[in-house]
Structure 1
Amino acid sequence: MCGGRGTRLETEREKPLFRVAGRPMVEYVLDALEASRVDSVTAAVTPATPETAAHLDQRGIDTIETPGEGYVADLGVALDAVDAPVLTVAADLPLLDAIAVNRVLARSAGDSVQVCVPAALKRRLGASADTTYERDGRELAPTGVNVVADTDTETMHLSYDARYAVNVNRRTDADLAEALL
């Protein structure tokens, strides 16, 4: 998912191209996916991310243009364009690596998987926690990593792994990611 404007990062640069430790965030995610068991990569871009689309094209990455109406709406458009099962990953996870990607794929076993971390972990690390929800008496944060399958079964994978917990939404998140790389 490469459609973010990066407004919370207070930058003119498109969010996927925002640099963490000198590299665009999307490059870290692409490296993780390319080194993992993932068969192919298709990126969802929006009208707000034309430079990202050009960057991905130069890398030989297929893109799907979504309307830019928000993460959930754009995800729906992207999912309609590909065959399930599909791993979805936000472009703002510079700590992600192939081991973390493969761990999610192994959890799937043909079913949908939502990867969450405790909101307390994000706070303890110093990462922003913009979206949280309660489940079984715990405050959880979605990570931007999921498997979407053609089944009615969805499992939640609760992780305490910082590789899933640090979504770069603000400059402080970028500083944290650089410190943890």
Structure 2
Amino acid sequence: MIIILAGGKSTRMGKEKPVLRIANKPMLLWIYEQAEKVDEVLVALSKNTPKTRELCLREGIPFIETSGKGYVHDIQELLKEFGPFISISADVPFVKASDFWLIRKAFDGKTSLTGVLPLSLVPNDLNPVVYRGCAIVGLNAVAGEGEEFFKLSNPLLALNVNTLEELELAEKIAKLIYSPKLSKI
């Protein structure tokens, strides 16, 4: 199972991030459309994200409500309810189905995997969270025992949309990637 974590307070953005549009599509849908190619998908909401709840109802996307007390608490709630799962933050719009497949294939259901990118793959314009020399990317496999880093190779995973500047950058990237002229090349 893949769970999209969409119940945060969005304090840095000041707006409910999962419903913000990139190339005229809510950010949550960018992620959901890739995830559903790989496995059953559930969106984890909270009282912090009423517009995201409306989007899920309108689009027929299955969801569950968590307490919204914080990332770690919500993860623990979901782990207790569903057992091991793949998680993705609702603000990583350029995750690909292949990224989900890679982490799913490596996941044994016992040891948590934290998705990371080598810093050499992180585009210069981005300032990801760095831990132990790697960029943390928001795509994880959640289990009850231990934790290991899992190296991914999609540089766009480093774009975690937390600010208006990052939203503008995501818009520019989407236009480049999905431009009709470029898709013919």
Range class of TM-score, shorter chain: 0.7 to 0.9
Q: Corresponding residue for 1:6?
A: 10
Cα 1:83–1:61, aligned 2, differ >3 Å: closer, same or farther?
Answer: farther
Q: Displacement, 1:112?
A: 2.6
Q: Corresponding residue for 1:61?
A: 61
Q: Displacement, 1:153?
A: 5.1
1:7 match: secondary structure: coil
Q: Corresponding residue for 1:31?
A: 33
Q: Corresponding residue for 2:86?
A: 87
2:141 match: secondary structure: strand
Q: Displacement, 1:120?
A: 6.3
Are positions 1:145 and 2:139 aligned together? Answer: yes
Q: For the residues of structure 2 that align with 1:67 and 1:120, how far apart are their CA atoms?
A: 37
Unpaired stretches in structure 1, ≥5 consecutive residues = none
| Aligned partner letter, 1:149 | A
Q: For the residues of structure 2 that align with 1:160 and 1:126, how far apart are their CA atoms?
A: 17
Cα 1:10–1:149, aligned 2, differ >3 Å: closer, same or farther?
Answer: closer
User: What is the RMSD of the two structures over their aligned residues, measured on CA atoms?
Assistant: 2.1
Q: Corresponding residue for 2:127?
A: 128
Cα 1:5–1:22, aligned 2, differ >3 Å: closer, same or farther?
Answer: farther
| Aligned partner letter, 1:167 | N
Unpaired stretches in structure 2, ≥5 consecutive residues = 175-185
Are positions 1:158 and 2:135 aligned together? Answer: no
Q: For the residues of structure 2 that align with 1:16 and 1:27, how far apart are their CA atoms?
A: 8
Q: For the residues of structure 2 that align with 1:125 and 1:78, how far apart are their CA atoms?
A: 35
Maintained 8 Å contact 1:114/1:155: yes
Matches within 5 A, 1:80-119: 80-84=80-84, 86-110=85-109, 111-118=111-118
Maintained 8 Å contact 2:19/2:27: yes
Deviations 1:63-98 (A, max 9, x none): 2212222211222112222132x1111111110111
Maintained 8 Å contact 1:29/1:94: yes
Maintained 8 Å contact 2:99/2:152: no
Deviations 1:22-72 (A, max 9, x none): 111100010011122x1x111111111012112112323232212222211
Q: Corresponding residue for 2:165?
A: 172
- Identity percentage of aligned residues: 30
Q: Displacement, 1:121?
A: 4.7
| Aligned partner letter, 1:159 | L
Q: For the residues of structure 2 that align with 1:173 and 1:121, how far apart are their CA atoms?
A: 18
Q: For the residues of structure 2 that align with 1:51 and 1:112, how far apart are their CA atoms?
A: 30
